[in-house]
Amino acid sequence: GAGVSQSPSNKVTEKGKDVELRCDPISGHTALYWYRQRLGQGLEFLIYFQGNSAPDKSGLPSDRFSAERTGESVSTLTIQRTQQEDSAVYLCASSFYEAYGYTFGSGTRLTVV
């Protein structure tokens, strides 16, 4: 597609439920990244994919967080047993070359109530 697409754009969930966030990167972009943006803060790195492999998962906050990528395309970020501190905007980005000209999606705003 023309840009990075994320869905849903907004998600409200009850504490303890699982959520899945989806990212469709720009076609042909081999690198894909997930970042988290808490209110009033900068972006925190979560995970990096090169193709379908994730050589760096160091930013995932806990084992409740996981992500996968298939077909060197779509990625899903899953948060299990959501907690209120998980409330944030989750941003996905993709790039053709690593860390050169990242293109970000509009994000998924997750609210855990």
Partner 1 sequence: GEDVEQSLFLSVREGDSSVINCTYTDSSSTYLYWYKQEPGAGLQLLTYIFSNMDMKQDQRLTVLLNKKDKHLSLRIADTQTGDSAIYFCAVDNDYKLSFGAGTTVTVRA
Residues that bind partner 1 (CB under 8 A): 4, 6, 31, 33, 35, 40-43, 45, 48, 50, 56, 91, 93, 98-107
| Distance of closest approach, residue 17 Cβ to partner 1, in angstroms | 24
| Distance of closest approach, residue 10 Cβ to partner 1, in angstroms | 10
Q: Which is nearer to partner 1, 15 or 38 (CB)?
A: 38
Q: Which is nearer to partner 1, 43 or 80 (CB)?
A: 43
Q: Which is nearer to partner 1, 2 or 14 (CB)?
A: 2
Q: Quick one: which H or E segment has residue 82? A: none
State how far the Cα of 83 lies from the Cα of 102, in Å rounded to an integer.
29
| Contact predicate 23/32, CB 8 Å | yes
| Distance of closest approach, residue 49 Cβ to partner 1, in angstroms | 10
Cα angle 16, 52, 38 (rounded to 5 degrees) comes to: 40
Cα angle 63, 66, 69 (rounded to 5 degrees) comes to: 160
Q: Which is nearer to partner 1, 58 or 84 (CB)?
A: 58
Largest CA distance in the chain: 38
